[in-house]
Structure formats: structure tokens, C-alpha cells
Structure 1
Amino acid sequence: MPATFVVVPLWQGSVSSRAMSHADGAAAIRGDLPAAATLVVDVPVEAGESLGTGVHRYSTLRRVREATELVLDQVPDWALTIGGDCGASLAAVGHAARRGEGPLAVLWLDAHPDLNTPDSSPSGGFGGMALRAIAGEGADGLVLGEAERVAPERIVLGGARAFDDEERRYVDEHGVSTLTVEDLSDPTVVVAALEATGASRVFVHVDLDVLDPSALSGLSYPLPFGIDPPALVAVLREVVARFPLAGATIAGFAPGSPLAAEDDLPTILRLVAALTSAERAA
């Protein structure tokens, strides 16, 4: 079945100076999606309170997670979630884990590992904790439960170029598979890493900052030496051709202006097309 697009204009997981632009980015992408196949999560305007959790804007993040789960329950098959910041993937991965059969792997394509906890995070931003929460560790209410969480050995982290000490420790101690930007230039390497997890289906998370900043201006955390768009498209097409896609997220679009968004959208829509390419070939 074709994807349902679930737009989550979440910005509260980001601590960037451009955090609120993530909502604008989600809205810009939404404008080019088929309306009949698109659902939108109502994200509150207010920032929210940390409530002693160590997670900035925790109260709103928890509300958005619950609202996203309700919207995802309306999806007949699989969802392509459009963030917003990376926190949008928490509910999306949980939905994918609940809805399918067989072990699930997560391919996390991001300039940052997002493997901090509330105790280790230097910023308190949930976006930098999202993958750790998917693996089952984090603040109460912002972590996947036992039946949904993805074990570290079924995570493949691609394109990360900025590790905090705790993130590096977690990767080393838990055997998280990591792929460099150079590794991503060969899609067969990515497929082999996913096959090594033993998973029968895959969730793909794309934070747009995995791309080189020269390719996209609307990044809240740009880091040099990222992958170029054609190479990323090739990776996504190869992955969805090899594995059943349980779900996907595109996150991290924070355009500086409506005009800048227009310039970036063709690149983003090529990624959308790559993630949905298997359904067109079926």
C-alpha cells in the first residue's frame, strides 16, 4: 500500500536558534504532498516546561508524542513522517514496531548520533536524545516501551560527524553499527550493515543535516563534509528495494525564509520520492 504522510511540525525538541523554523519547514514540505494522503498532528504553540526531567519543553513534547500516536493509529499501512525536529521519530518508530511482524532495524541517517540521555545531554534538547529514547532509555513518557524499543544491535547509524563522549561510549559498549559518510557512498555497504542486524524490515530516519550544507540551506545544525543528495537518494532507493519499509521520517528542515524553503524543496522531494520508490515499482 502507498505511504500515508504524517506531518508533525514539532520544534520543541530543538534548542537551535532556528528551532521554531522546524515548524515552518514541515509546513513547506506539506504543501507539496498529496492532500488526500496527508494527516497533520496539531502541535501546541507553547514551548512547555521541563518539569524536573532534564528535557527542555518536556510537557509539550509528551503531549505531541501522544497526539502523534493517535494520528498514526489512523494510518492503514506505513507512515512517512515529516518533521519537525528529530523528536518526531519517537512515536513513528513505536508505531512501526507495533504494526509489523518480525525484527525491526532502524537506519538513522544524521550528522549527530542523538544518543544522549537527560543526564548526559549538554543542551537538554530532546532531539539529541531521540535515538537513545527509541532504544529504551530516557525520560518517563519520552521513551519507547519494552515491546516497541529497538535494541542497539539493530541500529545502524550513518553519516554522524559529531559525537559527545556519552554517545561514543554508548556506541562502543553496545555495538551500534556506524557508517561514515564515505561508507554511505556505496549503498551495498548500507544494505550489508542492515542485513547483519538480522532484521526483516527497516525504519529509515533522515535528518537533513546528514547532507552537506552546500546542498541545503535550511539546516539548524549544519556540519561540513556530509553526503551529497544523489548519493543519499541512491542509498534510500537501495534500502527500500531490499527491505520492507516499516516507516520513515524526514526531519530537520529549518528554512530561513519562504524563498529559501522554495530553493531547498526540490532536494527534499527527491528524498521523499526515493523513500516511496518501492511502492511505485510494486
Structure 2
Amino acid sequence: MSTKTLRLQIPQWQGGNLEAYHFGGQLLAWLAPAAAGPVATVEVPEPDGSELPLEDGIVARSALLRQLYSTEEILRKEMPDRIVVLGGDCLVDLAPFAYLNERYEGDLAVLWVDAHPDVMTPQHFVHAHAMVLGNLIGEGDPDFTRRVARPIKPEKVMYAGLYDMSPTEWEIVERLGLRMATPSQLIDSSQPVIDWLRSTGARHVAIHFDLDVIDPVQFRSLNFSMPNAPPDAFAGVPRGRMTMAQVVRLLNDVAEQVDVVGLGITEHLPWDAIAIRDMLRGLPLIGEGRA
């Protein structure tokens, strides 16, 4: 039976309030292997340096909702069986994963490969990219949770690569009973995740892959490598501890067990590429020269 795989390119940046996500998402789409099926791009306004507004507890609420609706329109038109999402900040996976849980009538497990739990609410935080998994479970701001027609059951969610959180995040994760496989548990084996997958009985899985799960010593296109950031800019924020090889092994091991119907890759911040892009723009003949 033939299946339709849609590639969604969503260079969203407002969910993390970081302009570099826009170019990072575009570059990620350029670097990715050619798509075998249809490709659609959600139009996201290019950053212009303007400050984003705080709207009812969420930065850029209205812009994020417009982009969420645009994603939903594409999904309704294309009606894919599988989705690859190239972002952009983590919130880009909200509409695609909600769609997949409807498409497979709740027979969907979600593997969240991330150094952060993404279950915050506007009562705790103002950036929506840290709320996306909570929204998918049915918790958080109603403007976003109402877009999830069939919330994902907590027992069908597992973290991979998560090992520490804020006290608020710990409380939410423990209250929901979300499972977790730490980096140390996944060094040489994917078995903790495979065992959980089998326990769910799910025949399909969607995988959220936030690049910040990777050790920033091995991969520098992450928030933690932001140029000119103050020394304490990321104090207390857990950094990824997995290697690329470990993530590749894990995702392929999962694909051998169940049908992977969703893959979202997010939070690409190519600081060196951004720096040389901006340098080239400032040169004579090739760019604009001196402002």
C-alpha cells in the first residue's frame, strides 16, 4: 500500500524569540536529503529586529497562532500518512503531531528526544517553544491546546536524552507520569526506549528531535554556543549529553520496532553560517558595503 510523506518546512523563530531560528530552519531544509514526496513551506515573516510583543502571557502569541493555522491548512489539504518537519523552534511540531494522533486514531506513541521537557505553561514561562509537549497532552494555554483535537495520553510519551529540569518542570513531568531515558542509559543501547514502546502497544510513533539533546562540545549549532553571550547566560540550563551517533542509532532502532510516521527536527542555530552571511552582506561589490 502506497503512503504519502509530506515534508513541512517551518522556519519559525517567534516561539523561542530568537531570530537565528529563521535562518537555521531554512539552512536545515537546504541541508536535508531531497524529499521523495511533496514539500510545503509555512510562510514565516523574516525577522527585522523588532521586539516581539508579550500577548496574554506568551511572546508573539498572534503570530504563532497564525503560523499554526497555516500549518493546519496545509495538513488538511495534503492529508499525509507521514510527516517530516524541519524547523524552526520546537513549537513547529504542535500541529503535525496533533494531526498524526488524529490520523491514527490515538494509536501513536511520541518519543521526545530533547534536553528539555517542553511542558511549561504561561504561568511559568513566556516562550511557547517550551510548552509544545504540554499542549499536545492537553495542558497549557487554551488557544494552543484547543488545536489538539485528540490529546496524546501521557503513557504514550517518553523522553530520550533528558536528565535534569527546573523544580517546576520536575513537578509537571512527575505529575503526568512521563517516562524518561537519560543519556547515560542510552550510551550503548536503545533498550529502555524499545521496552517502553512495546509496553504502549502502539503501532506508530512520532519523534521530536531537538538538536540541543546533542552535546554542544560535539555540535556547536545550538543555543549554548551563541556568540558574545554573557558567561552566565545559560547557567542552570541543562545541556545535551548525547552524541549524533547515539541519536542516529536510537532513531533507527525505534524504526525497526514500529512505523515511524512523524519526525520533527528543530532548534538549529548555525552561528558560524549566520556570521559569514552577515559578513558577506557588508562587503563591497558582493554586498551592500558600508551602511
TM-score of the two chains, using structure 1 as the length reference: 0.83
1:65 is displaced (CA, Å) by 0.5
80-89 vs 243-252, which deviates more?
243-252
Whether the 8 Å CA contact 1:48–1:59 is kept in 2: the answer is: no
Of the three residues 115, 123, 129, the one matched with 2:119 is 115
Q: Which runs of 5+ in 2 are unaligned?
A: 226-237, 277-291
| Aligned partner of residue 59 in structure 2, secondary structure | coil
Structure 1 pair 137/101, CA: closer, same or farther in 2 (3 Å)? closer
1:259 is displaced (CA, Å) by 7.3
- Give RMSD over aligned pairs: 2.3
- Alignment partners' CA distance in 1, 2:243 and 2:210: 13
Of the three residues 1, 8, 11, the one matched with 1:9 is 11
- Alignment partners' CA distance in 1, 2:44 and 2:265: 17
Q: Does 1:28 align with 2:31?
A: no
| CA shift digits 1:27-81 (9 cap, x unpaired) | 11221342663211101346754332x1111111111110111122315321100
1:146 is displaced (CA, Å) by 6.1
Structure 1 pair 48/63, CA: closer, same or farther in 2 (3 Å)? farther
Highest CA radius of gyration, 1 or 2? Answer: 2
Q: Does 1:148 align with 2:150?
A: yes
The residue that corresponds to 1:267 in the other structure is none
- Alignment partners' CA distance in 2, 1:260 and 1:38: 28
| Aligned partner of residue 25 in structure 1, secondary structure | helix
Displaced runs of 4 or more, over 6 A: none
| Aligned partner of residue 84 in structure 2, secondary structure | strand
**How many residue pairs end up in the alignment?**
256
1:25 is displaced (CA, Å) by 1.2
The residue that corresponds to 1:252 in the other structure is 267
Structure 1 pair 167/224, CA: closer, same or farther in 2 (3 Å)? closer
189-198 vs 141-150, which deviates more?
141-150
The residue that corresponds to 1:176 in the other structure is 178
1:216 is displaced (CA, Å) by 1.4
- Alignment partners' CA distance in 2, 1:225 and 1:62: 29
- Alignment partners' CA distance in 2, 1:225 and 1:130: 19
Structure 1 pair 252/225, CA: closer, same or farther in 2 (3 Å)? closer
Taking the TM superposition and a 5 Å limit, the aligned residue runs for 1:83-122 are: 83-121=87-125
Using the aligned pairs only, state the percent identity: 29
1:187 is displaced (CA, Å) by 1.2
Whether the 8 Å CA contact 2:98–2:148 is kept in 1: the answer is: no
Q: Which runs of 5+ in 1 are unaligned?
A: 262-282
> Which amino acid letter does the alignment assign opposite residue 197 of structure 1?
T
1:260 is displaced (CA, Å) by 8.1
> Which amino acid letter does the alignment assign opposite residue 7 of structure 1?
Q
22-31 vs 217-226, which deviates more?
217-226
| CA shift digits 1:115-157 (9 cap, x unpaired) | 1111122xx1111111111111111221255642112121101
- Alignment partners' CA distance in 2, 1:235 and 1:260: 33
